[in-house]
């Protein structure tokens, strides 16, 4: 398994994990269960750790797909920029969740404030990670591209002497 495959395998975890962690935190607040809040914080911390190799393997994935037909440099750039912001917010949520667990174990009242802040960062993290995933999906999944993104790929292909269905300078047969 190479870095590109690892990226494709792992990239779903921070997105789904941050959603589950956020929902667990909400449930923990509704039920006033500190155990649920701590479990959610642990999940968020683990997802933050997984986000690190996702980002690292993204560089290799870029090298693999950047010269493939129909792949837009702009889509890759947008995905990469979103990933950087998402990573920092996810890491902050993970760090705050670790602090929350430490405060809980130490029996500190500040736990409730830290876990509330973790909830906010985790929710933000989910939104940013979901957007990053969506942008990443557009790189190879043409069916989810917006009109502007699809037009950008078409324009880039035309600048390279072909159309979006061109490989090695020859048009592919649609039949």
> How many angstroms separate the CA atoms of 132 and 82, rounded?
5
Residue 147: predicted pLDDT:
59
* Average pLDDT of the chain to the nearest whole number: 85
What are the b/e assignments for 72-84, b being 16+ CB within 10 Å?
beebbebbbebbe
pLDDT above 80 for 164: no
> How many angstroms separate the CA atoms of 60 and 80, rounded?
12
Question: Token pair 């950008």 is at which residue?
Answer: 152
Supply the pTM of this predicted model.
0.79
* Mean local confidence (pLDDT), 11-38: 97
From the list 131, 133, 129, 132, the residue with the least C-alpha distance to 21 is 129
pLDDT tens, position by position, 40-98 = 999 999 999 999 999 999 888 888 877 787 788 888 889 899 999 999 999 999 999 99
Of residues 16 and 60, more confidently modeled: 16
Domain boundaries, the chain: 3-141
Residue 159: predicted pLDDT:
52
pLDDT tens, position by position, 133-159 = 999 888 877 776 665 555 555 555 555
Answer whether 114's CB lies under 8 Å from 14's CB.
no
């Amino acid at each position: 398994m190479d870095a590109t495959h690892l990226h494709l395998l792992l990239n779903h975890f921070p997105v789904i994990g941050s959603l589950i962690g956020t929902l667990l935190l909400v449930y923990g607040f509704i039920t006033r269960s500190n155990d649920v809040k701590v479990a959610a914080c642990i999940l968020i911390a683990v997802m933050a750790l997984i986000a690190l190799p996702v980002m690292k393997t993204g560089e290799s994935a870029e090298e693999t797909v950047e010269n493939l037909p129909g792949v837009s440099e702009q889509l890759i750039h947008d995905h990469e920029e979103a990933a950087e912001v998402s990573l920092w917010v996810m890491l902050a949520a993970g760090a705050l969740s670790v602090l929350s667990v430490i405060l809980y174990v130490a029996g500190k009242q500040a736990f409730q404030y830290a876990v509330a802040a973790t909830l906010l960062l985790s929710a933000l993290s989910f939104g940013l990670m979901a957007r990053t995933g969506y942008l990443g999906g557009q790189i190879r999944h043409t069916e989810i591209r917006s009109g502007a993104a699809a037009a950008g790929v078409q324009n880039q292909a035309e600048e390279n002497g072909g159309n979006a269905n061109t490989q090695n300078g020859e048009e592919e047969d649609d039949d």
